[in-house]
Amino acid sequence: MDVERTFTLPRPVEEVFAFLSDFENTEHWDPGTIETTRLSGDGGMGTRYANRSRFMGRTVTLEYETVGFDPPAFFACKGVNGRTTATDVMSFTPVDDTATQVHYRAQFDFPFPLHKLAPLVLRRRLDGLADETVESIRRALA
């Protein structure tokens, strides 16, 4: 199940990429994140993070790994919690020297049988969370 948003920020592409691709910054832009800590790596491919978040009243822990890194155009980080995975994929396009368009996609893969129920049970909540995330990113980079 995916949620996607495209939005423009009044910041240069290098600045937006640097902020959002440093996954420790999720504490500043992901409304559900409680804490993210870098476990290993230099921020590029293969960098690993421990993330603790709140979702639907529960605290969950995921271990993320940077699986896509092409500055300043593309970033992807995949998190695993048991058999559930969450992947954040972001592409960055300069609008001009002072603005950046961001395409953000969050992909969720749930184990059987939840993968059948998730679109029915979680769709509204995930859409709302995606909207909150965009607003949090806007505030963080204002």
Q: Which of 60, 21, 78 is nearest to 44 (CA)?
A: 21
The pTM assigned to this predicted structure is 0.89
d(CA 100, CA 114): 36
- Residue ranges and CATH numbers for the domains of the chain are 2-140 (3.30.530.20)
> What confidence tier does 23 reach under pLDDT thresholds 50, 70, 90?
very high
* DSSP-derived 3-state class of residue 20: helix
Strand partners, 96: 99
Tell me, rounded to whole angstroms, the distance of Cα 60 from its chain centroid.
15
Look at residue 127 and tell me whether its pLDDT is greater than 90.
no
Q: What are the phi and psi torsion angles at 131 (to 5°)?
A: -65, -45
Look at residue 38 and tell me whether its pLDDT is greater than 60.
yes
Tens of pLDDT along 100-122?
Answer: 999 999 998 877 666 556 555 66
> What confidence tier does 46 reach under pLDDT thresholds 50, 70, 90?
very high
d(CA 135, CA 129): 10
Q: How many helices (H) and strands (E) does the chain have?
A: 3, 7
Task: State residue 122's pLDDT score.
Answer: 66
Residue range 63-77: mean pLDDT, rounded: 98
Residue range 58-70: mean pLDDT, rounded: 95
> What confidence tier does 26 reach under pLDDT thresholds 50, 70, 90?
very high
